[in-house]
């Protein structure tokens, strides 16, 4: 009898399986080809259906069929397709965006029911914010694709562009929803492990494998450091999310009611969790906020998944759309970690005759482990590459990808590989890199910087020059660099040559020897501006103020002892040969002298607690600090017994921090303080940088004249605030212009001792008066206050600056208007 029952059960199960239909497929965005997660797929006329997963896939099993199947999602046009009678069918949907706007709900009494859901979600943020974990680690897969978009007819008809598209005719063409071609120019895949610890907050990513292909990409090691998951973190449990250097308020921020409105759409099943489905949208269209949908777990009010867009009405430039889709997974300890994140950034045309850009980022995290924290020393390098990070075949990637590459992505890879080989593409990509970096790579040597090729000023007349440096292909332990320049009026050669030995790349340790002879100006401090080649070139153009020939021989050692803590030490021997009327009284003998030599021993400390540093070829590059300030302390001792003419001490302290002020915008401040101990000529003092040009700069006091003041001891504060859209977004007509208010304040206290005032003679040896330096009253600060508007026509900025003190000084400028141009989002 038992056997008969088992047989009957097996028979009916087999019979039901035989009569079961399976329909599966994928729902994608017709404009971009990206998957549409959370879309509803239903057999038309029935309640049989399923929501798509994060990859846009669905699978429906049913005992009966209707005549068609449809896919729908808010913000897209519903699409229906006919069904056949086959047991297994694959039906894909490509939905097109619509101009859909949700009708407002009308509530008869009481508050919006969505508000209570959001309120409970915000109250439980600490329970689910991953930042509350002591430590966690994840295994991440990241892929990035960048395409040239908006290929208008005028752009594609250019002779050079036609040459490119004709080569690509043999490859499957990718198009957007208007039928225009897009040209993929970059594609990367990265497999990494990400580590986090709390108290102090430290992060580290170890790139295990990376595959990078792109137009103009020559160094996979540098690029691989920025294509991992470390730069793709979006935590909606934070009040403010930093995206493209802008601060966007989260839909579940503590102050949510001031920024957002919400509609409760439905209760839906997401996986095994019953969730509230809510629509969110900004109260003010220009605010840096999101619109879209969020799903909140009904049981514990945890964020389950998001589908959010930064609308085009937001006060941003060139950005047509930023879209973020994310699903979250609960850890064993309770807090949530994003398991999958997809981000799309669409940049429009700067002008009608140019092209746009479409960037896609995808990160999948698994193997999530919550446990004890790694030691602090483990986080010394924020990003680290394994030795064989680039050695992996297609079989490896097929086995380790979070999901297989789509047919569109395979076409992207083929197209990028083809583009890289087209001569005209290589010419333009290398040209753009040359303009941006200043150097043109030719094998193991880079030529440049181009700013040294030519210049003109009143001392040198026409100046010509040429520079060379080795790159990582030459060596990853040695770096050589130098240039030679000649002035056709002063008939003098100028040069710089350096050799750097990289002793340790993990705890960045270098030893560098440098020799130079160059034209400099009192107060410009050329040595501190070495990283800004364009500014240096501009400083040598036109009329030079208080110029002198500077000859330097320098030996410098530096080492990073732990994360963010860099120690430097060295010796510098220099000669000051003035090209203007300069004299000082020598200490002791009180003889009049016009030139001097210095021998200095230097030591410095630099600390950035959460600063992100990557190694770019044989140099370090900083991506700044997200929360904590960066500070530097430098000490210099001038020695006579080693051949110098002067005996002195110099101490300097510098502090910089970016402050995210939420609703009120972003602030940046720089605190600079220093003191010189000893009797020295005024070029050794702090000669404060003024600005007599028409252009605004943050490096100078914009109402101060060149060489107007020098200080033996000083403290200065430069404060700049960017209101973003806080003020002007609330003015009805102005907000359409997307102007943004800015403000700045510069305050300086300084003084000079009697001994350093008295060592400057009033007349030269011939009896003629000589130009000296201005001094600040130690009880009276130099103050300038400014305000202005940026983002005028998306490029221009105008500042109005008032000089509040020292108005009785000859040639003082009580009020100036400065302009500048910038490309900002």
Instruction: Please report the pLDDT score of residue 217 as a whole number.
Output: 66
User: For residue 500, which of 465, 526, 529, 470 has the smallest C-alpha distance?
Assistant: 470
Whole-number Å distance between alpha carbons of 258 and 663:
10
Q: Quick check: 6 and 14 in contact, CB under 8 A?
A: no
At a CB cut-off of 8 Å and minimum separation 6, what does 471 contact?
441, 444, 445, 446, 617, 618
Residue with tokens 């807090």: 335
- Per the DSSP assignment, residues forming a β-bridge with 749 are 715
Average pLDDT, rounded, for the chain? 83
Q: Is 587 helix (H, G, I), strand (E, B) or coil?
A: coil
Instruction: Please report the pLDDT score of residue 6 as a whole number.
Output: 47
Residue range 647-661: average pLDDT? 92
User: For residue 276, which of 265, 286, 287, 285 has the smallest C-alpha distance?
Assistant: 265
User: For residue 305, which of 261, 268, 346 has the smallest C-alpha distance?
Assistant: 268
Instruction: Please report the pLDDT score of residue 669 as a whole number.
Output: 94
Strands (E), 407-491: 440-442, 445-447, 454-457, 461-470, 478-487
Whole-number Å distance between alpha carbons of 636 and 678:
12
Q: Is the pLDDT of residue 183 over 70?
A: yes
- Residue 617 φ/ψ, nearest 5 degrees: 55, -115
Whole-number Å distance between alpha carbons of 130 and 194:
13
Q: Quick check: 657 and 629 in contact, CB under 8 A?
A: yes
Whole-number Å distance between alpha carbons of 439 and 471:
10
Q: Is the pLDDT of residue 82 over 80?
A: yes
Instruction: Please report the pLDDT score of residue 155 as a whole number.
Output: 55
User: For residue 364, which of 386, 343, 395 has the smallest C-alpha distance?
Assistant: 343
Given its phi and psi angles, is residue 699 left (phi above 0), alpha (psi -120 to 50 degrees) or beta? alpha
- Per the DSSP assignment, residues forming a β-bridge with 316 are none
Report whether the peptide linkage leading into residue 73 is cis, meaning its omega lies within 30 degrees of zero.
no
Q: Is the pLDDT of residue 649 over 90?
A: yes
Instruction: Please report the pLDDT score of residue 297 as a whole number.
Output: 93
Give 679's pLDDT tier (boundaries 50, 70, 90). very high
Q: How far is Cα of residue 337 from the mean position of the Cα atoms in its chain? A: 23
**What's 753's DSSP letter?**
-
Q: Quick check: 38 and 46 in contact, CB under 8 A?
A: no
104, burial (CB in 10 Å: exposed 0-12, middle 13-18, buried 19+): exposed
Maximum alpha-carbon separation in the chain: 130
Q: Is the pLDDT of residue 417 over 50?
A: yes
Q: Quick check: 220 and 372 in contact, CB under 8 A?
A: no
Q: Give residue-wise pLDDT tens across range 381-408.
A: 778 888 777 777 888 888 888 788 877 7
Strands (E), 245-371: 246-249, 260-270, 273-282, 291-297, 303-310, 319-330, 336-347, 356-370
User: For residue 117, which of 308, 330, 327, 277 has the smallest C-alpha distance?
Assistant: 277
Give the end-to-end CA distance of the chain in Å, rounded to a whole number. Answer: 77
Q: Give residue-wise pLDDT tens across range 596-607.
A: 999 999 999 999
Residue range 133-157: average pLDDT? 78
Instruction: Please report the pLDDT score of residue 301 as a whole number.
Output: 94
Whole-number Å distance between alpha carbons of 540 and 520:
8
Instruction: Please report the pLDDT score of residue 17 as a whole number.
Output: 45
- Residue 761 φ/ψ, nearest 5 degrees: -70, 150
Instruction: Please report the pLDDT score of residue 157 as a whole number.
Output: 61
At a CB cut-off of 8 Å and minimum separation 6, what does 85 contact?
65
Q: Give residue-wise pLDDT tens across range 6-64.
A: 444 444 444 444 457 888 888 888 777 778 888 888 888 887 888 888 888 888 888 88
Q: Give residue-wise pLDDT tens across range 571-594.
A: 999 999 999 888 888 887 888 888
Residue with tokens 């030996």: 555
Q: What six digits make up the tokens of 613?
A: 């540093």
Q: What six digits make up the tokens of 89?
A: 């069918």
Give the count of beta carbons closer than 10 Å to the beta carbon of residue 381: 20
Give 8 or 713, the one with higher predicted confidence.
Answer: 713
Q: What six digits make up the tokens of 639?
A: 């020695």
At a CB cut-off of 8 Å and minimum separation 6, what does 584 contact?
592, 593, 594, 596, 681, 682, 759, 760, 761
Q: What six digits make up the tokens of 212?
A: 């990078």
445, burial (CB in 10 Å: exposed 0-12, middle 13-18, buried 19+): middle
> What is the percent of the chain with per-residue pLDDT over 90, rounded to a whole number?
34
| The model scores a pTM over 0.85 | no
Helix (H) or strand (E) run with residue 166 in it: helix 159-167
Q: Quick check: 328 and 285 in contact, CB under 8 A?
A: no
Instruction: Please report the pLDDT score of residue 556 as a whole number.
Output: 97
Residue with tokens 């990853």: 476
Whole-number Å distance between alpha carbons of 744 and 799:
9
**What's 491's DSSP letter?**
T
Report whether the peptide linkage leading into residue 449 is cis, meaning its omega lies within 30 degrees of zero.
yes
Give 217 or 728, the one with higher predicted confidence.
Answer: 728
Give 180's pLDDT tier (boundaries 50, 70, 90). low
Q: Give residue-wise pLDDT tens across range 103-124.
A: 444 445 567 889 999 999 999 9
Q: Give residue-wise pLDDT tens across range 251-272.
A: 999 989 888 999 998 888 887 8
Q: Is the pLDDT of residue 168 over 60?
A: no
- Per the DSSP assignment, residues forming a β-bridge with 295 are 277, 305
Q: Which domains does the chain have, with CATH numbers?
A: 2-95 (2.60.40.1120), 653-825 (no CATH)
Per this entry, what is the length of the chain? 825
Instruction: Please report the pLDDT score of residue 164 as a whole number.
Output: 59
Residue range 688-695: average pLDDT? 86
Q: Quick check: 232 and 361 in contact, CB under 8 A?
A: yes
- Per the DSSP assignment, residues forming a β-bridge with 597 are 575
């Amino acid at each position: 009898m038992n056997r008969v029952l088992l047989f009957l059960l097996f028979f009916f199960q087999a019979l039901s399986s035989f009569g079961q239909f399976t329909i599966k497929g994928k729902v994608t965005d017709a404009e971009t080809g990206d998957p549409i997660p959370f879309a509803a797929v239903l057999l038309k006329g029935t309640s049989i259906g399923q929501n798509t997963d994060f990859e846009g896939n669905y699978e429906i099993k049913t005992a009966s069929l209707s005549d068609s199947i449809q896919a729908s999602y808010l913000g897209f046009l519903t699409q229906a397709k006919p069904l056949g009678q086959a047991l297994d069918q694959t039906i894909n949907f490509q939905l097109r965006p619509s101009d859909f706007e949700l009708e407002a709900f009308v509530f008869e009494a009481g508050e919006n029911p969505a508000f209570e859901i959001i309120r409970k979600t915000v109250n439980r943020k600490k329970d689910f914010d991953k930042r509350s974990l002591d430590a966690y680690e994840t295994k991440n897969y990241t892929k990035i694709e960048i395409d040239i978009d908006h290929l208008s007819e005028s752009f594609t008809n250019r002779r050079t562009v036609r040459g490119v598209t004709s080569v690509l005719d043999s490859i499957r063409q990718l198009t957007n929803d208007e039928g225009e071609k897009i040209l993929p120019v970059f594609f990367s895949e990265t497999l990494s492990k990400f580590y986090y610890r709390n108290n102090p907050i430290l992060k580290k990513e170890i790139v295990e494998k990376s595959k990078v292909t792109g137009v103009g990409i020559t160094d996979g090691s540098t690029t691989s450091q920025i294509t991992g998951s470390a730069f793709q973190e979006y935590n909606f449990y934070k009040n403010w999310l930093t995206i493209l250097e802008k601060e966007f308020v989260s839909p579940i921020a503590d102050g949510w009611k001031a920024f957002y409105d919400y509609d409760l759409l439905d209760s839906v099943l997401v996986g095994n969790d019953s969730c509230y489905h809510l629509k969110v949208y900004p109260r003010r269209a220009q605010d840096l906020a999101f619109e879209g949908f969020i799903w909140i777990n009904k049981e514990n009010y945890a964020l389950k998944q998001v589908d959010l867009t930064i609308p085009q009405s937001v006060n941003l430039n060139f950005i047509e759309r930023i879209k973020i889709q994310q699903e979250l997974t609960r850890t064993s300890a309770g807090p949530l970690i994003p398991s999958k994140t997809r981000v799309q950034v669409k940049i429009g045309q700067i002008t009608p005759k140019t092209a746009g850009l479409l960037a896609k980022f995808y990160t999948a995290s698994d193997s999530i482990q919550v446990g004890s924290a790694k030691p602090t020393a483990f986080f010394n390098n924020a990003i680290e590459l394994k030795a064989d990070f680039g050695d992996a075949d297609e079989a490896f990637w097929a086995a380790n990808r979070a999901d297989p590459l789509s047919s569109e992505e395979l076409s992207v890879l083929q197209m990028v590989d083809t583009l890289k080989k087209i001569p005209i593409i290589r010419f333009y990509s290398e040209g753009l890199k040359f303009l941006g970096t200043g150097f043109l790579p030719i094998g193991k040597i880079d030529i440049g910087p181009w700013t040294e090729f030519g210049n003109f000023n009143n001392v040198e007349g026409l100046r010509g020059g040429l520079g060379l440096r080795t790159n990582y292909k030459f060596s990853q332990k040695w770096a050589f660099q130098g240039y030679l320049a000649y002035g056709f009026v002063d008939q003098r050669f100028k040069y710089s040559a350096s050799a750097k030995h990289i002793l340790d790349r993990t705890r960045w340790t270098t030893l560098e020897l440098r020799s130079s002879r160059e034209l400099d100006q009192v107060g410009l401090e050329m040595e501190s501006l070495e990283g800004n080649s364009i500014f240096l070139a501009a400083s040598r153009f036109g009329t030079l103020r208080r110029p002198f020939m500077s000859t330097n021989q320098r030996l410098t050692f530096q080492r990073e002892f732990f994360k963010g803590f860099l120690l430097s030490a060295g010796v510098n021997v220099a000669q000051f040969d003035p090209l203007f009327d300069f004299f000082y009284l020598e200490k002791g003998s009180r003889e009049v002298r016009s030139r001097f030599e210095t021998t200095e021993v230097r030591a410095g400390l630099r600390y950035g607690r959460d600063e992100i540093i990557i190694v770019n070829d044989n140099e370090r590059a900083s991506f700044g600090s997200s929360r904590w300030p960066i500070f530097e302390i430098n000490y210099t001792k001038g020695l006579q017994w080693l051949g110098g003419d002067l005996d002195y001490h110099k101490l300097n302290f510098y502090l910089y921090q970016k402050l995210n002020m939420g609703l009120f915008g972003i602030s940046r401040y720089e605190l600079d303080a220093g003191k010189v101990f000893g009797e020295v000529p005024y070029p050794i003092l702090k000669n404060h940088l003024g600005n007599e040009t028409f252009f605004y700069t943050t490096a100078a006091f914009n109402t101060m004249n060149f060489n107007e003041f020098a200080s033996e001891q000083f403290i200065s504060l430069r404060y700049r605030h960017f209101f973003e859209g806080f003020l002007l977004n609330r003015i009805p007509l102005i907000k359409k212009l997307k102007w943004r208010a800015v403000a700045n304040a510069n305050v300086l206290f300084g003084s000079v001792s009697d001994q350093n005032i008295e060592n400057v003679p009033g007349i030269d040896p011939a009896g003629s008066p000589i130009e000296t330096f201005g001094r600040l009253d130690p009880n009276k600060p130099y103050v300038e206050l400014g305000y202005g508007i940026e983002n005028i026509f998306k490029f221009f900025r105008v500042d109005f600056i008032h000089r509040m003190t020292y108005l009785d000084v000859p040639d003082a400028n009580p009020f100036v208007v400065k302009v500048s141009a910038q490309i900002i989002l």
